[in-house]
């Protein structure tokens, strides 16, 4: 598989290699123009591979780190049914992490390497998980708003040009839809409950609304990578476009909940036919991204601890497998 | 991935597609299928706690006091263990184990919910009344279930004992004269069979892996084995239930338990080193509500939110 960058090192290629690269590029360009799919063994530009690897591994890390705020409430869930739903949900997230790491591995990087990048602080994950889940209602708000925003982002990714990613996203989106409905239902139950429960629900929506909107990424005029990703059919809609659609959906659903969104400026712009929202604090977004969120250190430390504490188990499993293979070979 | 998953793949590219975030309010969660998850396969015709609760409301089933007490014991075992195992999710040695331990916790919780729902029918209490509003001495779980997770080896050793015990118990309870107990056991049996396999595989791996893993699994078994005897103790209640055919004498499970666990421990080469027969057995008392120091903390955490809002619906 070609691993050199056509743009940067063509001079070093032999004529045969150059021909192969050019044929590869032509094939790639055709696949993209036909809106068809690139598969792991196909030639692809190095920058495409890198972009995907970054995006898929970040997505995988987000699933894994995203388990923590919800795992925080498993032992305290206020009914056994809710406890079961929450456990199943967090378990689904581990599953999503696994599919995504597998998809990323098809691009030539091992899960071990991605994990070590994560715990060394060299990789990113969705910034929203650096906020704390301080009340039970946060389980509702995370499901409704955070998973809801994630779905808006992810549904178009089901037809991302890279096959393994698109296919992983199909399954993930199905489960995420279920999660989002569960979150909505938690809030609905709280909102129709005691005044204390309703206040808990409103407080959670107030805290998660803006971070959820910022999950779509910076505004379009400040999102340098978006254009290339859209040209490569990885990304299908711009950040602002997705954000606007999301706001439009939430504004209807919040009415059913009997709660309000903490944004007085939401309106439907008749001219652009788009939903608009109030200003978001992008400085806070950048701060949290830069490690200044309330839980950045805690989240990474938990991941590191689980990884380090589990090292002897993984070593034992590998050693046992080696010995078994040896036995079979000898037999 | 199977065909139904792919069918949406190419035809619906819109944001309102299959991963939609519409919330059909009536549909959202109304199925009550709380544990539904695409990563979890429930074998057989899953009997859900909601189904049992419905039968109770319709007056179709009601346990005798003895059966209710018995269901309470078995349900408490599962509940307390699920609470312990739930702590592993996001902390396991590898992602596959986050999923596996989460699955086992979910299964245990599912069994517990069914048993507690059924037990509660005798006293007009819901599963949540029983889980969240009883005090420490009212819980009937055996001591093994409340033992702390420890390291992965301790969790595996505990699970190895539990799942072999539960396998023998549920196998027999599928023939219970109480139809609800038999139905819950039939569902649980299939799941516990998988738990047994999971823990047995890890016992073999840890015993036959590295020096460190062997040292840890040996230490783990020594730590949890004192709580084995209690699982197999008979008392008046189990005597009456064995007589009626609704339950079994715990002691009647012991020979099969010893044989099956013995086979794995022997394959793992641990039997001599552990010398299990020489490990002193704890007095137990969980079935009478006498617990170790661990249960109080576990319940405090589990019950805190529900107790802050008595009477609230979630």
Report whether A175 contacts B37 (CB < 8 A).
yes
Report whether A215 contacts A287 (CB < 8 A).
no
- Partners of residue A74 in chain B, C-beta under 8 Å: 86-87, 89
pLDDT for the residue A12? 77
Residue B237 pLDDT more than 80? yes
As beta bridge partners, residue A162 has A38
As beta bridge partners, residue B185 has none
Of B38, B92, B302, the CB nearest to A306: B92
pLDDT for the residue B21? 58
| Secondary structure of residue A126 in the 3-state scheme | coil
The DSSP secondary-structure symbol of A220 reads: G
pLDDT 10s digits, B276-300: 999 999 999 999 999 999 999 999 9
| Secondary structure of residue A204 in the 3-state scheme | helix
Tally Cβ neighbours within 10 Å of residue A49.
Answer: 19
The nearest alpha carbon in chain A to B204 belongs to A320
Which residues in chain A come in under a pLDDT of 70? Answer: 1-11
pLDDT 10s digits, B120-151: 999 999 999 999 999 999 999 999 999 999 99
Phi–psi pair at A276, nearest 5 degrees: -120, 155
Of A91, A97, A316, the CB nearest to B210: A316
- Tell me how far apart the terminal alpha carbons of chain A are, to the nearest angstrom: 37
Q: Which helix (H) or strand (E) holds A269?
A: strand A267-269
Cross-chain residue pair B95–A98, CB shorter than 8 Å = yes
Cross-chain residue pair B5–A171, CB shorter than 8 Å = yes
CA distance B199 to B205: 10
Q: Which of residues 251-270 of A touch B (CB under 8 A)?
A: 253, 256
Q: How confident is the model at residue B38 (pLDDT cuts 50, 70, 90)?
A: very low
Burial label for A269, CB within 10 Å (0-12, 13-18, 19+), is exposed
Cross-chain residue pair B13–A156, CB shorter than 8 Å = yes
Q: Average pLDDT, whole number, for chain B?
A: 89
Q: SS3 letters for chain B?
A: CCHHHHCCCCCCCCCCCCCCCCCCCCCCCCCCCCCCCCCCCCCCCCCCHHHHHHHHHCCCCCCCHHHHHHHHHHHHHHHHHHHHHHCCCCCCCCHHHHHHHHHHHHHHHHHHHHHHHHHHCCCCCCHHHHHHCCCHHHCCCCHHHHCCCCCHHHHHHHHHHHHHHHHHHHHHHCCCCCHHHHHHHHHHHHHHHHHHHHHHHHHHHHHHCCHHHHHHHHHHHHHHHHHCHHHHCCCHHHHHHHHHCCCCCHHHHHHHHHHHHHHHHHHCCCHHHHCHHHCCCCCCCHHHCCCCCHHHHHHHHHHHHHHHCCCCCC
pLDDT for the residue B23? 57
Cross-chain residue pair A171–B304, CB shorter than 8 Å = no
pLDDT for the residue A118? 96
CA distance B47 to B3: 27
CA distance B69 to B65: 6
- Partners of residue A156 in chain B, C-beta under 8 Å: 13, 15
For the residues B20-30, what does the mean pLDDT come to? Answer: 45
Cross-chain residue pair B92–A312, CB shorter than 8 Å = no
Report whether B305 contacts A76 (CB < 8 A).
yes
pLDDT for the residue B20? 57
Report whether B139 contacts B300 (CB < 8 A).
no
Cross-chain residue pair A84–B113, CB shorter than 8 Å = yes
For the residues B219-246, what does the mean pLDDT come to? Answer: 98
Range list of H helices, chain A: 15-33, 46-71, 80-105, 111-119, 137-141, 148-154, 163-191, 195-214, 226-231, 239-257, 282-287, 296-309, 311-330
Q: Tokens in use for B83?
A: 């609470």
Residue B40 pLDDT more than 50? no
CA distance B168 to B188: 11
Tally Cβ neighbours within 10 Å of residue A28.
Answer: 19
Residue where the block lists tokens 């604090």:
A281
Q: Is A283 on the interface with B (CB under 8 A)?
A: no
- Partners of residue A140 in chain B, C-beta under 8 Å: none
Cross-chain residue pair A79–B212, CB shorter than 8 Å = no
Q: Is A196 on the interface with B (CB under 8 A)?
A: yes
- Partners of residue A178 in chain B, C-beta under 8 Å: 36-37
Q: Is B89 on the interface with A (CB under 8 A)?
A: yes
Cross-chain residue pair B38–A317, CB shorter than 8 Å = no
The alpha carbon of residue B242 and the mean position of all alpha carbons in its chain are separated, in whole angstroms, by: 22
Q: Is B23 on the interface with A (CB under 8 A)?
A: yes
DSSP A139-196: HHHIIIIIIHHHHHHHGGGGG-SBHHHHHHHHHHHHHHHHHHHHHHHHHHHHHTS-HH
Cross-chain residue pair A151–B109, CB shorter than 8 Å = no
For the residues B39-45, what does the mean pLDDT come to? Answer: 44
- Partners of residue B15 in chain A, C-beta under 8 Å: 152, 155-156, 237, 242, 245
Q: How confident is the model at residue B6 (pLDDT cuts 50, 70, 90)?
A: very low
For the residues B227-240, what does the mean pLDDT come to? Answer: 98
Residue B181 pLDDT more than 60? yes
pLDDT for the residue A147? 96
CA distance B18 to A284: 33
Q: How confident is the model at residue B172 (pLDDT cuts 50, 70, 90)?
A: very high
Q: Is B15 on the interface with A (CB under 8 A)?
A: yes
Phi/psi region, residue A329 (left: phi>0; alpha: psi -120 to 50; beta: rest), is: alpha
Residue B30 pLDDT more than 80? no
Q: Tokens in use for A102?
A: 């597998």
Report whether A59 contacts A52 (CB < 8 A).
no
Cross-chain residue pair A189–B313, CB shorter than 8 Å = yes
**Residue in B12, B13, B15 to test binding to A, most A beta-carbons within 10 Å:** B15
pLDDT for the residue B37? 40
pLDDT for the residue B150? 98
Q: Is B3 on the interface with A (CB under 8 A)?
A: no
Q: Is B103 on the interface with A (CB under 8 A)?
A: yes
Q: Is B219 on the interface with A (CB under 8 A)?
A: no
Closest CA to A303 of A106, A165, A83, A125: A125
CA distance B249 to B243: 9
Q: Is B205 on the interface with A (CB under 8 A)?
A: yes
């Amino acid at each position: 598989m070609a691993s050199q960058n056509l743009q940067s090192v063509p001079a070093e290629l032999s004529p045969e290699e150059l021909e192969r690269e050019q044929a590869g590029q032509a094939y790639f360009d055709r696949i993209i123009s036909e809106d068809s799919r690139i598969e792991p063994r196909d030639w692809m530009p190095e920058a495409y591979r890198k972009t995907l690897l970054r995006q898929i591994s970040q997505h995988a890390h987000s699933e894994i780190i995203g388990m923590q705020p919800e795992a925080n409430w498993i032992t305290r869930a206020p009914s056994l049914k809710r406890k079961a739903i929450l456990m199943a949900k967090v378990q689904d997230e581990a599953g999503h992490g696994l599919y995504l790491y597998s998809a990323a591995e098809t691009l030539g990087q091992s899960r071990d390497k991605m994990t070590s990048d994560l715990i060394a602080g060299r990789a990113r994950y969705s910034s929203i998980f650096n906020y704390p889940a301080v009340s039970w209602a946060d389980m509702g708000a995370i499901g409704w708003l955070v998973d809801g925003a994630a779905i808006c982002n992810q549904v178009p990714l089901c037809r991302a040009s890279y096959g393994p990613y698109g296919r992983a996203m199909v399954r993930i989106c199905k489960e995420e839809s279920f999660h989002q409905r569960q979150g909505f239902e938690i809030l609905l139950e709280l909102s129709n409950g005691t005044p204390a429960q309703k206040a808990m629900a409103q407080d959670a929506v107030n805290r998660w609304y803006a971070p959820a909107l910022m999950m779509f990424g910076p505004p379009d005029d400040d999102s340098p990578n978006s254009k290339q990703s859209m040209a490569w059919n990885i990304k299908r809609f711009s950040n602002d476009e997705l954000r606007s659609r999301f706001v439009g959906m939430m504004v209807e659903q919040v009415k059913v909940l009997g709660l309000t969104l903490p944004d007085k400026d939401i309106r439907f712009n008749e001219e652009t036919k788009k939903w608009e929202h109030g200003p978001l604090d992008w400085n806070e977004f950048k701060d949290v991204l830069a490690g200044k969120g309330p839980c950045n250190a805690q989240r990474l430390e938990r991941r590191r601890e689980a990884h380090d504490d589990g090292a002897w188990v993984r070593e034992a499993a590998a050693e046992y497998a080696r010995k078994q293979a040896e036995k079979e070979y000898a037999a | 991935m199977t065909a139904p998953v792919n069918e949406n793949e190419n035809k619906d590219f819109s944001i309102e597609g299959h991963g939609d975030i519409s919330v059909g309010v009536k549909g959202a969660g109304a199925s009550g299928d709380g544990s539904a998850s695409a990563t979890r396969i429930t074998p057989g015709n899953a009997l859900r706690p909601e189904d049992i609760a419905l039968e109770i409301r319709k007056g179709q089933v009601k346990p005798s006091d003895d059966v209710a007490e018995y269901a309470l014991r078995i349900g408490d075992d599962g509940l307390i263990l699920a609470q312990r195992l739930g702590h592993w999710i996001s902390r396991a040695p590898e992602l596959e184990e986050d999923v596996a331990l989460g699955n086992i916790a979910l299964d245990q919780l599912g069994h517990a919910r069914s048993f507690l729902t059924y037990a509660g029918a005798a006293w007009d209490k819901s599963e949540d009344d029983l889980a969240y509003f009883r005090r420490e001495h009212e819980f009937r779980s055996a001591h093994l279930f409340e033992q702390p997770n420890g390291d992965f080896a301790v969790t595996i050793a505990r699970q190895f004992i539990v799942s072999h015990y539960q396998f023998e118990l549920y196998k027999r309870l599928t023939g219970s004269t109480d139809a609800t107990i038999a139905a819950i056991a039939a569902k649980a049996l299939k799941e516990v069979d998988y738990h047994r396999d999971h823990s047995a595989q890890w016992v073999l791996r840890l015993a036959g892996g590295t020096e460190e893993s062997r040292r840890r699994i040996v230490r783990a078994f020594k730590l949890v084995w004192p709580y084995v005897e209690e699982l197999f103790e008979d008392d008046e209640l189990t005597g009456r239930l064995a007589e009626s055919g609704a339950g079994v004498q715990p002691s009647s499970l012991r020979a099969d338990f010893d044989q099956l666990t013995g086979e794995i421990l022997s394959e793992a080469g641990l039997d001599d080193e552990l010398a299990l027969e020489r490990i002193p057995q704890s007095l137990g008392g969980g079935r009478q509500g006498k617990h170790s120091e661990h249960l109080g903390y576990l319940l405090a955490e589990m019950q805190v939110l529900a107790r802050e809002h008595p009477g609230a619906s979630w």
